[in-house]
Amino acid sequence: MFRRKIYDRLLQWKEESQGRTALLIEGARRVGKSTVVEEFGKREYESYILIDFSTASRTVKELFQDLSDLNFFFLQLQLQYRVDLTERRSLIIFDEVQLFPLARQAVKALVKDGRYDYIETGSLISIKKNIKDILIPSEERKISMYPMDYEEFLWALGDKTTANLLRGLFERRKSVGESMNRKLMRDFRLYMLIGGMPQAVDEYLRTNNFKMVDAVKRDILNLYEDDFRKIDATGKISLLFDSIPAELNKNASRYQVSSVLANERADSILELIAEMKDSKTVIAAYHANDPNAGMSSQKDLGRFKLFLADTGLFTTLVFKDKDFTENIIYEKLLNDRLSVNLGYLYENVVAQMLTANGYELFYYTFQNEKTRRNYEIDFLLSKKNKICPIEVKSSGYKTHASLDKFSEKYSDRILDKYLIYTKDLQKDKDILMLPVYMVPFL
């Protein structure tokens, strides 16, 4: 199992909860939820039972129909899984719990009983179709799990030092040097190509072959497509998902729904967008109509951009309908010959890293009233009752007109200004110019 940061959060929950709450881990398919939870059960408890509701027998599922006698319920579970449960020293895992909502409803009674700890894992779990007929337990604590972040990726490659060194340099605002930056960017571009899905990382470590890695990612994308068809038979979600790279490539001020779905507008598909977000396969950045510290109340639900939750999957989705040999991104990005029109890869990976850090994503577009020129701030972060504008550049970093004009317009609201690019850390007046591999420290 790869080392994952969420493991520490599981330890914290176990210590703080002491059986008073169940833990629900939400995340996209194949991000490693089941693996990390089962490893947690092995290491931190005397025994555990993992009930995978994608394969659980009818006998097991029928146990949840009647919880009036929990002694009988636990006895039957132990017999079915041939595991001895010990009070306050055993864990019961409900894996893929969205496939059997009755188990999720049972959490209330099971937690109240207090004998064991409970962890649920699920994908597409917040969709109304999965919970409309059950009572959601208030004893449930939720956390999200994302693809492996850059530090976890480095750990998987056996590098336990680089991230800590970079964190220290960021905190001291020190550059790494031109030659070292080139090496660090090569390493980071590898992450952008492979991504953070554990299966893809494992395939790279086993084969050192991008074609094999790409095949794994295509399998994952096909799995997502199957999930989308189950919750939306019209195929609209699939079309919206597949069109994310093309929409970002337009460099437009929003995702243009009407160009993907004829006769549809953003306002008419809000529920579909919500379902995509719930699946954790995509990240949405909303337009902040009034950029300030309270942007959540100012977001425009009808103006948004969509990103993939994993940039490795993004690189595959761009050429999903073609053979791998035609995927020029792998060669060009790895050799730092990425053309300007593929710069949306950097925007996607920045969105991914900011989301993993717990930020809700916003962006802002505005027009110069005199020249009618349009400007865009790629991301806006809220910190200490102020905002931090971010401009992402894959080239042309010597100019940052959008940041400059935004600063003129909202100077009293700004805490820090960042330009994210591919060069070494430096300052340009009051703008901190950061190499993209330092985004995790924002």
Tens digit of each residue's pLDDT (9 = 90 or more) over 365-413: 998 878 889 999 999 999 989 999 999 998 767 789 999 999 999 999 9
Residue 59 — very low, low, confident or very high, per pLDDT cuts 50/70/90?
very high
Residue 160 — very low, low, confident or very high, per pLDDT cuts 50/70/90?
very high
Single out the residue of 176, 167, 101 nearest to residue 140, CA to CA. Answer: 101
**pLDDT at residue 191 in the model:** 97
**pLDDT at residue 128 in the model:** 62
What mean pLDDT comes out for the span 65-80?
97
| Mean model confidence pLDDT for the chain | 93
**Strand locations in 229-384 (E):** 282-288, 299-308, 362-367, 374-383
pTM of the full predicted structure? Answer: 0.93
**pLDDT at residue 129 in the model:** 66
**pLDDT at residue 396 in the model:** 63
Q: What is the pLDDT of residues 301-360, one digit of tens each?
A: 999 999 999 999 999 999 888 888 777 888 888 888 866 667 899 999 999 999 999 999
| Cα(403)–Cα(410) distance, integer angstroms | 10
**pLDDT at residue 324 in the model:** 84
Identify whether the C-beta of residue 36 lies closer than 8 Å to the C-beta of residue 146: no
What mean pLDDT comes out for the span 101-111?
95
| Number of Cβ atoms within 10 Å of the Cβ of 299 | 19
